[in-house]
Amino acid sequence: MTEVVTTVEGLRVALRRRRHGGSVGLVPTMGALHAGHAALIRRARAEMETVVVSVFVNPTQFGPAEDFATYPRDLPGDCAEAEANGADLVFAPSVAEVYPAPDSVRVAVGGLARRLEGAARPGHFDGVATVVTKLFGAVGCDVAYFGEKDYQQLRLVVQLVRELFLPVEIRAVPIVREPDGLALSSRNRRLSPAARCVAPGLYRALCVGRAEVEGGERDPTRVASAIAASLPRTTEEVPVEVDYAVCVDPETLETPPEVTGPVRLLVAARVGGIRLIDNLAASPPEAA
Ligand code: AMP
C-alpha cells in the first residue's frame, strides 16, 4: 500500500519507520502522472529499497504569464499510478509546506541554465534548482531519477548536485513516447484534437536532424536549420510558434564549432497555444 504524506515531518517519520539502512530513491514530479513518470518509478522500484514519489506543482518555476493555475492536478489519480508502479510513499506537500517563508531562500543558477528554456522562461531554472534542493533535503534520498524529456533540467540538476556537493546520485531515464512519436507530457492532455495531430511533428523534425548528423553533416547550424525547416507550420486551425531548434553539446548545451561526436538536438514550440519541448540524441557516422 502506498502511503501519502503531506508534511516534511510526516515524510521523515514514515521514512524512519520503513528504512532499515537501505537505499532511498526519489522521483520528483509535478503530478498528472503518465507512462513517462511510470518509467521513472519502475526504474526506482527495481533499484532502490524505498521509493518516494513527490507530487508538487512548484510555483517558483512558473513565470507570471505561465500556466501554474491551470496546470493539470489529479492527486487521487497520481496516488493510484504511483501505487501501481510500486512506490512506497507519495510526498504531496502544500505550497506553504515547501515555502514556509516565501522569497527568503532561492537557489540561483547560471551557465547552461541561462540558455534555451532559461532564455525562453526567465527564472524557471532558479525555481527548479530551489525546489529540487528542498526535495533532496526533505527526503534525504540516495538517488534521484530524472527523465531525459526535460533534458536541460537533467543537465542542470547534475551540475547543481556537483556544485553544491549534494550527496545524491542522479540517474537519467530515456523519453517515453506515444506510438506516433509525441513525447509523453502532462501538458499533452491540454492539446486540442487538431493540435494533437500536429504535435508529433516536433519529433519528426528532430528525426530529420538526427538523419543529417548520421549522414555526416558536421555544421551544427545546418543541422539546426534542417530541424527548423521540418517543424510543423502554422495553419488556420493550429498556430505554431517555434522558440528554438538547436544542435548542441550534450553536456554544456553550447553549439560546438563542428559535429565531431555525440550531440543533442532540442526543440521547443507552442502548438495550438500549448508549449511543448522535445529532444533527441544524435551521433556522427564516425562516433556511431
Ligand atoms: P514533470 O512532472 O513534468 O515535472 O516530470 C517529472 C519527471 O518525469 C521529470 O524528470 C521528467 O523529465 C520526467 N518525464 C516527464 N515526461 C517524460 C517522458 N515522456 N519520458 C521520460 N520521462 C519523463
Question: Which grid coordinates are listed for 95?
Answer: 505550497
| Integer CA distances (angstroms), 34 to 31, 40, 100, 178, 189, in order | 9, 10, 30, 11, 10
With the most atoms of ligand 1 within 8 angstroms of its CB, the residue from 26, 27, 37 to mutate is: 37
- How far away, in angstroms, is 185 Cα from ligand 1 center? 7
pLDDT at 266 > cutoff 90: yes
Calpha distance 71→209 (Å, rounded): 31
Distance 108 CA to ligand 1 centre (A): 22
> Would you call 124 a catalytic residue per the annotation?
no
Q: Identify the CA nearest to 92 among candidates 2, 1, 187, 7.
A: 7
Q: Cα–Cα distance between 87 and 150 in angstroms, integer?
A: 22
What burial letters (b/e) apply to 62-74, b meaning 16+ CB within 10 Å? beeeeeeeebeee
Q: Whose CA is nearest to atom 10 of ligand 1?
A: 146
Mean pLDDT of the chain: 97
Q: Please state the atom number of ligand 1 nearest to the C-alpha of residue 183.
A: 19
Report the candidate in 134, 144, 125 with the shortest Cα–Cα distance to residue 105: 134
CB 196 within 8 A of CB 188: yes
Lowest mean pLDDT among 12-26, 103-117, 244-258: 12-26
Examine the pLDDT at 134 and tell me if it is beyond 90. Answer: yes
* Nearest atom in ligand 1 to 184's CA: 19
Q: How far is CA 100 from CA 10, 61, 103, 104, 105, in A?
A: 16, 17, 9, 9, 10
The average pLDDT across 77-81 equals 98
Residue 288 has pLDDT above 70, yes or no: no
Q: What atom of ligand 1 comes closest to residue 185's alpha carbon?
A: 16
Calpha distance 171→16 (Å, rounded)? 24
How many angstroms is it from 205 CA to the middle of ligand 1? 21
Residues with CB under 6 A from ligand 1: 29-30, 36-37, 39-40, 146-147, 149-150, 173, 175-176, 183-186
Question: What is the arrangement of strands in the sheet containing 24-29, beginning at the earlier edge strand?
Answer: 3-5, 89-91, 50-55, 24-29, 143-147, 169-173
Query: What cell numbers appear for 37 in the block?
Result: 513518470
Ligand 1 geometric centre to CA of 132 (Å): 14
- Among protein residues, the one with the nearest Cα to ligand 1's atom 13 is 147
Classified as helix, coil or strand, 171 is strand
**CA diameter of the chain:** 59
Would you place residue 154 in the very low, low, confident or very high pLDDT band (cuts 50, 70, 90)? Answer: very high
179-223 pLDDT, tens digit per residue, is 999 999 999 999 999 999 999 999 999 999 999 999 999 999 999
Tell me the pLDDT tens digit for each residue of 27-74. Answer: 999 999 999 999 999 999 999 999 999 999 999 999 999 999 999 999
